[in-house]
Amino acid sequence: MLTRVAPRLAANVQARGYAKFDKVQAEAAVASKAVKSDIPASADAKSRLATEKGKLLEQYGDLYNTLDRQESARDLFSGEYYKMNARQQEALKALVDAQNAALAPVLEKYGADLRPGAARIKSDMHHALAPEAEPVRVAVTGAAGQIGYSLLFRIASGAMLGPKTPIILHLLELPAMQQALQGVVMELRDCAFPTLRDVIVTDNPEKAFEGVDYALLVGAQPRTKGMERGDLLKKNAEIFSIQGKAMNKTAKGKDTRIVVVGNPANTNALIAQRNAPSIPASNFIAMTRLDHNRGLAQIAEKTGCLVTDIDRFVIWGNHSATQFPDINHATVKSKLAIDVLDSKWVNDTFIPAVQQRGAAIIAARGLSSAASAGSSAIDTVYDWHFGTAGKWTSAAVVSNGEYGIEKGIVYSYPVVFNEKKWEVVKNLPITQEAAVRMEATHKELLGERDAIASLLPK
């Protein structure tokens, strides 16, 4: 068992020159005693196994929750690991490898219970201890705008793809914004990020998307005073048609993944996707992670818990005021959210607050969401790149007909990411009230699609 093996491993690491593993040794010894002390010597094999399983699940849950509260290996080791000498790094890798080997038989017995947490921990450890990767090319459109400005420095610092992944930024802006963009590039270089290898600046979409691994489509036509929504849709259809065609011509194709941030995000993603037939439709996502994060924050504030105490919260539909923030499947500290939260608060306060949060921010600061939008884009790519280890998040993806949504529409679902692919969480029970709300946002998306149908390739 891991609890029996870890003390010896830790002692071995300590002997090889990394004294900080005293803590590992002590914690492992305590954990081992805790399991043994709760199993009476007279217990039969079945009861001993049940007790041991329960304790292991509890310990593993604590470890998983610790990692999930952003104290993951990428954070814990981002400084310390890279300060170690080669022998210390080798010792740490040996410890991680041996712990994984010790954990294997436990996973084989209790795989269904432990595998999601194990996947997350293994992923974190792998990326924290992996050798430096090849540079990843990331395109950002509207790079001189407020969201772009909030995004670029975090991407360049390693927050999106890890501290060992070199980044080459491809920045696209309008000709009139090139001077402002040069100032942003000067700041990026002045930060001296170890992960930033190069910055490519252009007003040419084909050059911007050439060979990129990820594209964050941030720049979009904003709605101005007196502009009808149909006019806004058509103007953005022109922009995202051009960008879709450019990606189709010069991006990596099946290895390029696109996150659309610019509004109306779902329909803009549809337009770009339809104009890029060489890129799989599943490689396009419209960002509803911002709405998802807003919902988590509202629930956490209401219940006094941490956002990491909340699971299985869902955003359905459009990134607009018709979206449906759904708590019917959610848990708060393992309790059903519908039992924790008052239904009147949910319907009268929570749902409208999430739906109208963008407007509220504009009213408060005089400008639209920038930092939170940029942060949510980072979260989306991070989860897509590293996986969510079985945990749900929300993303607007090209529908395959799930939950009665028309195929081809970009609709927000509960999704799980694994190995750079997403999967919609299927077969969830839908209440009548939820079905009505889901259909309302579905109809809005169908209307948006129909408004720009003449501009979509056949």
Q: What angle do CA 74, 80, 84 make, to 5 degrees?
A: 125
The answer to whether the beta carbons of residues 381 and 160 sit under 8 Å apart is yes
The type of residue at 198 is D
b/e per residue 224-245 (b: at least 16 CB within 10 A): eeeeeeeebbebbbebbbebbb
- Alpha-carbon torsion (363, 365, 368, 369), positive or negative: negative
Q: What angle do CA 143, 267, 365 make, to 5 degrees?
A: 50
272 backbone dihedrals φ, ψ, rounded to 5°: -60, -45
- Alpha-carbon torsion (99, 105, 108, 110), positive or negative: negative
User: Which of 319, 329, 385, 442 is labelled catalytic?
Assistant: 319
Q: Which residues contact 436 (CB under 8 A, 6 or more apart)?
A: none
For residues 279, 280, 286, 290, the Cα torsion angle rounded to the nearest 10 degrees is: -110
Total residue length of the chain: 458
b/e per residue 18-44 (b: at least 16 CB within 10 A): beebeebbeebeebbeebeeeeeeeee
Catalytic-residue membership of 385: no
Name the pairing type of β-strands 421-424 and 410-418.
antiparallel
For the annotated catalytic residues, the residue numbers are 319
